[in-house]
Structure 1
Amino acid sequence: MLLSLMLITLALSKKNNPISPQKMQNTQSDDNGSETLDVSAEEEGIELLKEWYDKMKGFLPEDMITFEIAARGQEEFYEVIDVIPSTIKGAWFLGSSNSKDMDFTIYDPMQNVVFERKSKKEAFFSIEANYQGAYIFAFKNNKVMSGHTITFTYNSGNSTNTILKTEHLTPVENNLLEIQKNIKDFQVDNQFAQLRQETHFKTVASANTNVFWFSLIESVGVIAVTAWQIYYIKKLLDNRRVL
C-alpha cells in the first residue's frame, strides 16, 4: 500500500514538474540552476525507489497509523522488542504537505540513535535490533505555523511470518493432534457412559413396573383372601345360632 502511495506521489510530482527533452537541453546550456532542482528531485525519486527495493523487500506492515502532529510538535511511538536479533522495517510520509520539515529519529533501549533523518517529507528505515527493550520512534515537526498529517507503518520482526518456522510449528501441530485425539476419546467415553446410564434407567424403570404390578396383584389377592375368610367366619357363626 505504501509503495503504491509512493509511486502516486512520484507520479504527481512528475506531472506537476514535467521535464521535456528540450527543457533538459536548455538546462545544459543554462547556468541559472533552476532546472538542476528538477533533476535533483527526479534523482531523489529514483533513489527512493532504489531504497525501497533494497531495504523493504518482503515488507509486511505489522501496523499502520495516520496521526496529526501540531506545529513545532513532537510525537513518539514505542515498540518493545523481546526476540533478538530482529529487523525493524518501516516507512512514513507526510500526507498534508510537500515541504521537507520533519525530523525522524529512532532510539534503541540504551537511548542511542540508530537511525536519523532530518528535514524530510518521507523516509524508509531498516535497522537491526540487537538489544531487548523499548525502541522509540520520534517525530518532530519543524514547521512554525502549521501541523502535518503523517502516515506511519512498521514491522518489528516479531510477527509469526518472521519468527515462526515449520520446525517451530511441528510440536504445536503434534500437541494439537494429541489434544484432538483426547477430545475424541472423551467424547466416545461420554457417549458410552450416557448409553450405559440410559440402559440402567430403562432396567430400573422396568423393574419398578414389575414390582408395581406384582404388589397390585398381591394386594388384590390379600384383599380377596381376607374377604373370603370374613365371609366364611360369618357363615359359621350364623349356623351356630340356628342350632
Structure 2
Amino acid sequence: MKFILFSLILFTLFVSKINTITITVPPSSKECIFEKIDKRTSVTLLYQVVSGGGMDINPEITGPDGIVIYRRDREKEGKFTFLSRTTGIYKFCFGNEMSHVTSKQVNFDLQFSGGHSNSEIAKKEHLTPLENGVLELQEQLRSILSEQRYLKVREHIHRNTTESTNSRVLWWNFLQTFLLIAISATQIIYVRRIFERRRRI
C-alpha cells in the first residue's frame, strides 16, 4: 500500500504536463501561445509543419523579460528544451511572414517537467531500487508518448503528400486523355479533308 501511495505521489510530482496543440498560421502573419511557467521548469517544444506551401515556419520563444530564448527561420520541424530562469509568461510564436498566399498548419507539443528538480524532491541515494525503477519507467513513458505524437504527425504529413500526389496523377491522366482525344479528332478531320480534296480533283 505504501508503495502504491508513494508511486502516485511521485507520478504527480514528476509527470510532465503535455499540451498538444494544432494551429493554423495565416499568410504574412504570426500566431502566438502564452503560457505561465514557474521558475526552474524544464520546457520542451516539439513542432512540425503539417501542411501548407513549402512546409516551413519561423518558430520563436520569448521569455517574460522580452529576451528571445529560441528562434529559427524556415524550419519544417524541430525540438528545443530549456530551463526557465524566472516565473512568468512565456511566449511561443510561429511566424508565416515569408508566405503571402498559403496558410501553414503547425502541430506542436509543450512539455513541462514540474518546477522542482528531482534533487529538491528526493535525493537519489534516498530512493530504493524499486523507486528508481518507477522513475526510469516514467521517463520511458514520456519518451514513448512523445514518439507516438511525432509518428502521428509524420503519418499525417505522408498522407497529405500521398493524397496530393494522387490528385496530381489523376489530373495529369485527365489532361493526357483530353489531349489524346483532341489529337485524334484533329487527325480524323485532317485525313477527311485530304480525301475530300482528292475526290474533287
Could you say which TM-score interval applies, normalised by the shorter chain?
0.3 to 0.5
Q: TM-score, normalised by structure 1?
A: 0.40
Of structures 1 and 2, the one with the larger relative CO (CA 8 A, separation 6+) is: 2
TM-score between both structures, scaled by the size of structure 2: 0.47
Greater fraction of residues in helix: 1
Q: Answer 1 or 2: which has greater strand percent.
A: 2
